[in-house]
Amino acid sequence: MMARNEQKMKGKLEVLEKRFPKITTRAVVCDFSDVCVIADYRKIVEEQLSDIDIGVVCLNAGIATEGPVALISDQELENEIRVNGLHPVYLGKVLLETLMNRKQRSALIVTASIMSFMVNPGGCAYSSTKAFVSNFWQGVHFEAKDKVDVLVWTCGGVRTKIFADSIGAEGAAKL
C-alpha cells in the first residue's frame, strides 16, 4: 500500500492481514503530488516492492479543488492533475508490467468517479482527470485481457474526506 499517511496506512494493512493471514503487505510512504514522472514510480517500485509477488493492484487516490479554473492556484491545479490523472496512469503502467510477467492471472482495479461522465463547472479538473483515467484503463483492459483483469470502478458518492468536504458532514453521514 502506498499513501502519505503512514499511521493510517498501517492500520488498514493490519485489518487486511488479520482477515487474510496468507497475504503479504507492505507500507510505502509516498505523496503522489510530489511524484511527477514514470521513472520516479519505477524507482519506488524497484526499491521498495520488487521482493514481493504483487497479484492485485488497486489504484485509488484523489484530491478535489473547488472553484473556477481561473481562480484556483497553479499549484492546486497541478497537484490535482498529478494525483488524479498522472498517478494512476504512471504507477499503473509500472505495476502492469509486473502483473503481465506473472505466471498467475492478476488484477488491476482503478477508481474513477461518476463525475467522469459529467461536465462539472467548479470542479473541472476533478471530473476531467477521472474521465481520462477511466478511458485510459478501459483501453488497457483490452490490451492486457489475456493476463490481467483490468477493472475501472466508476463509483458515486463514497465516504471520503473529499466527498464530506463537498456535501458537508451531514450529507456524508447519510451515505
Mean pLDDT by 10 residues, the chain (175 residues): 88 93 89 89 94 92 91 95 94 97 96 92 94 97 98 81 64 60
100 backbone dihedrals φ, ψ, rounded to 5°: -65, -25
Task: State residue 61's pLDDT score.
Answer: 83
Q: What is the dihedral of CA 4, 8, 11, 17, to 10 degrees?
A: -30
Class of domain 55-173 as given by CATH: alpha beta
Task: State residue 169's pLDDT score.
Answer: 64
Please say whether the beta carbons of 112 and 152 come within 8 A.
Answer: yes
Task: State residue 80's pLDDT score.
Answer: 94
Q: Residue holding cell 485489518?
A: 15
Task: State residue 31's pLDDT score.
Answer: 85
